[in-house]
Amino acid sequence: MVDVIKVSARSRSTAVAGAIAGVVREHKRAEVQAIGAGAVNQAVKATAIARGYLQEDGIDVIFIPYFTEVVIDGQERTALRFVVEPR
């Protein structure tokens, strides 16, 4: 089981992209989670950047979005998760 990379609206997309690329290289799969429009925007940008990083290594990745429920401070929230894996 790989840890989930959590993205906020203030996350630097290049830093998140580096984390995604590193996890995919090591574990062949990464999961990225975002809650809110700004966080989803940063997560999508980071995934696109990570795709470029991984293409340099000959790894072509896709990402599959899905909704999930998470509990934060005792409240249930809907999050968007992306599975990033080789094509």
pLDDT band at 4 (very low <50, low <70, confident <90, very high): very high
Which domains, and CATH codes, for the chain?
4-86 (3.30.110.20)
Render pLDDT for 36-75 as a digit per residue (tens, 0 to 9): 999 999 999 999 999 999 999 999 999 999 999 999 999 9
CB-based burial, 11-33: b 16+ in 10 Å, e otherwise = bebeebbebbbebbeeeeebbbb
If you average pLDDT over every residue of the chain, what do you get? 95
The whole model's pTM is what? 0.92
pLDDT at 1 (0 to 100): 64
d(CA 21, CA 54): 6
pLDDT at 3 (0 to 100): 86
Picking from 46, 55, 56, the residue whose alpha carbon sits closest to that of residue 16 is 46
